[in-house]
Amino acid sequence: MKAVVTGGAGFIGSHLCDRLVAQGHEVVVLDDLSTGSLQNLVQLEGSPGFRFVQGDILDRDLVDDLVSHADTVFHLAAAVGVYNIVDAPLRSLRINLHGTENVVEAAVRHRVPYMVASTSEVYGKNDADGLKEDDDRIYGSPTKSRWSYAAAKGLDELVAYVHGSESGVPCVITRFFNVVGPRQTGRYGMVVPRFVDQALAGRPITVYGTGTQRRCFGSVFDVVPGMLELMDTPAAYNRAVNLGGHEEVSIKGLADRVVELTGSDSEIVYIDYDEAYGEGYEDMQRRYPDTSLAKDLIGYEPTRDLNAIINSIVEHRRAQATVPQPA
């Protein structure tokens, strides 16, 4: 099988490429390296059938050409990270809306099964205990740019779904809940690698708000196999499926845990949302997935608890520190 992975140089995309290549598939990565890094793909250099193409998902002709030669498409390229979204809302809207439209339209044109990566952000301010795929979405005002990501991804799901149902081309929408693991960067937000880097460097750990907001972090090593299985499961076609973890923690609790597991003497400091993200930021207080649909479809069951997830990131960061990094 020949797979195109958009955003394959990113965190989740690169782990997906690892698996696809290990399974003997040909893989073409399309990535503009805006937030991804070639460093995430060095292990695949020289693997038979692996190819990296630097390019933009807004480039219709390029996308069309790559997709026309593929047997399957995984669309993960996106403008991600809260800092990215609030700093450049227009750019993130264009990439997340039109980029997805390009990829989906090309997949449907060439009748290539496709997966579109979505996010738990689409639930917005809905903080139900165990968010289910058909639950309502609650977005804030459009004047609050932080909602641009949620709104765009929500529309991406519709684009994927409507094209999939009208064309009959298999389509899977994966809704990721705070997926974390090695290679994720804290540069654009993403609290776990930020806290780990701060702890390892002995810098203050920056908890935003009161730290009582809660998240449930999922391991990339659980989520990526889940994505692959969903693509092989006709009952999953043309629906959105939650993928994530099971252990919930407050952000203050996460900071404590990172300090404990790294043996760091970093202090924990509290920073107002306005100072962290700019005025008027609205955070979600809770985001906990119901993954029973994934369980029913593919037997999905997260296998890594929060300590294992944090430890894998710490290990990776420590190993990275011993090799020269690109500038």
Distance CA 176, CA 150 (A): 12
Among this protein's residues, is 149 annotated catalytic? Answer: yes
CB-nearer residue toward ligand UDP: 207 or 297: 207
Q: Rule CB under 6 A: is residue 154 a binding residue for ligand UDP?
A: no
Half-sphere exposure of 145 (CA within 13 A, CB side): 16
CB-nearer residue toward ligand UDP: 188 or 237: 188
Of 114, 139, 149, 281, the active-site residue reads 149
* Chosen residue from 5, 16, 151, 191 binding ligand UDP by CB under 6 A: 191
3-state SS record for 130-176: CECCCCCCECCCCCCCCHHHHHHHHHHHHHHHHHHHHHCCCEEEEEE
Return the range that interacts with ligand UDP (CB under 6 A); candidates 68-76, 186-194, 231-239, 307-315.
186-194
* Total interface residues for ligand UDP by CB under 6 A: 14
Q: Rule CB under 6 A: is residue 210 a binding residue for ligand UDP?
A: no
CB-nearer residue toward ligand UDP: 50 or 217: 217
Return the range that interacts with ligand UDP (CB under 6 A); candidates 96-104, 205-213, 259-267, 291-299.
205-213
Q: What is the CA radius of gyration of the chain?
A: 19
CB of 218: closest distance to ligand UDP in angstroms?
11
Distance CA 170, CA 201 (A): 46
Site string for ligand UDP, 42-81 (x = CB under 6 A): ----------------------------------------
Distance CA 235, CA 238 (A): 8
Locus of tokens 């609290």: 191
* Chosen residue from 114, 139, 147, 208 binding ligand UDP by CB under 6 A: 208
Q: Are 58 and 99 in contact (CB under 8 A)?
A: yes
Site string for ligand UDP, 94-133 (x = CB under 6 A): ---------------------------x------------
Report the amino acid identity of residue 226. G
CB of 190: closest distance to ligand UDP in angstroms?
4
Report the amino acid identity of residue 113. P
Q: Considering only residues 251-290, where is the footprint of ligand UDP by CB under 6 A?
A: 251, 283
CB of 207: closest distance to ligand UDP in angstroms?
5
* Chosen residue from 100, 174, 178, 291 binding ligand UDP by CB under 6 A: 178
Return the range that interacts with ligand UDP (CB under 6 A); candidates 129-137, 187-195, 295-303, 310-318.
187-195
Report the amino acid identity of residue 68. S
Q: Which two tokens stand for residue 87?
A: 């700093």
Q: Rule CB under 6 A: is residue 207 a binding residue for ligand UDP?
A: yes
Q: Are 77 and 11 in contact (CB under 8 A)?
A: no
Q: Which of these, 114, 106, 116, 117, lies nearest to 170 by C-alpha position?
A: 114
Q: Rule CB under 6 A: is residue 215 a binding residue for ligand UDP?
A: yes
Measure Cα distances from 152 to 21, 79, 142 in Å.
31, 10, 12
Distance CA 317, CA 326 (A): 14
3-class state of residue 118 by DSSP: strand
Q: Rule CB under 6 A: is residue 177 a binding residue for ligand UDP?
A: no
Which residues bind to ligand UDP, rule: CB under 6 A?
82, 121, 178, 189-191, 194, 206-208, 213, 215, 251, 283
Write out the catalytic residue numbers. Answer: 149
